[in-house]
A = this chain, B = another copy of it.
Amino acid sequence: MTSQTLDETAKGVFVISATPFTDDGSLDLESTDRLIDFYLERSVHGITVLGMMGEAPKLTHEESILFLGRVLARVKNRVPVVAGVSNPGIGNLAKLAHQAMDLGAAGVMVAPAAGLKTEDQIFAYFSQVFTLLGPKIPVCFQDYPQNTTVFSSVATLNRLVDNFPQLVMLKHEDFPGLRKVTQLRQQAERDGRRRISILVGNGGLYFPQELRRGVDGAMTGFAFPEMLVETFNRATAGDFDGAENVFDTYLPLVRHEYQPGIGLAIRKEILRRRGAIACAATRAPGARLDRDDHAELDILLHRLDARLRA
C-alpha cells in the first residue's frame, strides 16, 4: 500500500490540512487536490488530515474515507500522510484507523476521549485503543488539553511510551508546554527511554522556543507553511537565530490565526486568497468572516507583504 510508515525518526513540518468545502457545505474534492499541491510545493515533510482543525468531527465516516482517499491519491507517497481517527467510540476509531492504513496512511493520530478524568483513565483508554489497533499501526498521541480537557503528566506520557512501541509520535499542544518538552527529552535521555518524535501544535505560537528545546518539528496548519519549513530548516542547520527571524516576521499572522473559533475561518480565508482552495467556508456551526474581519486581515497581510519586501 504505502512505502511511507511513521516512526520515531519523523521530522519536519507535518502540515495539518484544512478540509475544503463548497459554500453549501459539501466536500470540495477539486480544491482538495489544489490544496495538497499547494502544500507539497511548499516542501512540507508530511501532511496530517482529519484533525480538529480539519473539522473531522463534522464529517461522517464515509466523508472521512472519501477525503482521505482523495488526499492519498494526490500525494502519491511523496510524503507521509497521518490520519486523525479520534472518535467517541473506540470501535469506530479502530475501524477508521484500519481503513486509513489500508488506503495508504503512514500512521494515525489519536487524542484522549473527552470525558476522561484521571491519568489512570488515560492510560486505560490508550491500552484499549492499542489493543484494537494492533501492534502494526503507528500512532501519534495528540496532547491537546485546551480542546479535550484531558491533561497528561509527563509521567503518564512516559508510561505510555514504555508500554506501547507503536506510540511513535507526540503532537504536543499542551499550553504552556515549553517545560514539558524539556522534561520529556531530559527524562528519556536520563532513563534510557525510547526517544519518540515530538511535533508541536498550537498554531506554532512558540515554535522557535520549542525547536531550541529539542522538538523535531511542527504539526500545525498555519496558512504559510513555507515559513514553518524555513524555520525548521534553519534550526536544523544550527541557525536558531535565523530561524527565529523568519518566524518573527510571520508572528503577527501566527497570533491572528491562533484565536479559538474564528482562527480556522481566518486560516481558510488566507488559503483561499492564496489560491489553495476555492471557498473559505467552514461547516456549521462555524465562524464566518464579516466585513470588519476581512478589512483587518487585509491590513495584516499587507503588513506581512511589506515586511517580506523589506
A residues contacting B by CB (< 8 A) are 25, 55, 57-62, 87-92, 113-114, 116-121, 124-125, 128, 132, 145, 151-156, 175-176, 178-179, 182, 205-206, 209, 212-213, 241, 244, 248, 251-252, 255-256, 259-263, 283-285, 290, 292-293, 296, 299, 303
Contacts and interface: CB of A to CB of B under 8 A. Distances in A.
A256 B212 CA distance: 15
Residue in A155, A262, A284, A296 whose Cβ sees the most chain B Cβ within 10 Å = A284
A204 B260 CA distance: 16
27 contacts: A57-B89, A58-B87, A58-B89, A59-B89, A60-B60, A61-B61, A91-B283, A119-B119, A120-B155, A121-B153, A124-B285, A125-B285, A175-B259, A178-B259, A178-B262, A179-B290, A179-B292, A179-B293, A206-B256, A206-B259, A212-B296, A212-B299, A244-B303, A248-B251, A248-B303, A251-B252, A251-B255
A120 B292 contact: no
A152 B118 contact: yes
Number of copies: 4
A292 to B, nearest CB: 5
B175 A260 contact: yes
A25 B91 contact: yes
Contacts of A152: 118
Contacts of A154: 120
Contact of A90 (B255, B256, B285, B292): B285
A284 B120 contact: no
Contacts of A145: 117
A132 B283 CA distance: 13
Contacts of A90: 283-285
A276 to B, nearest CB: 22
A48 to B, nearest CB: 19
Contacts of A25: 91
A255 B119 contact: no
A156 B152 CA distance: 13
Nearest to A131: B284
B153 A89 contact: no
Given A88-B58, A153-B120, A113 B285 contact: yes
B176 A128 contact: no
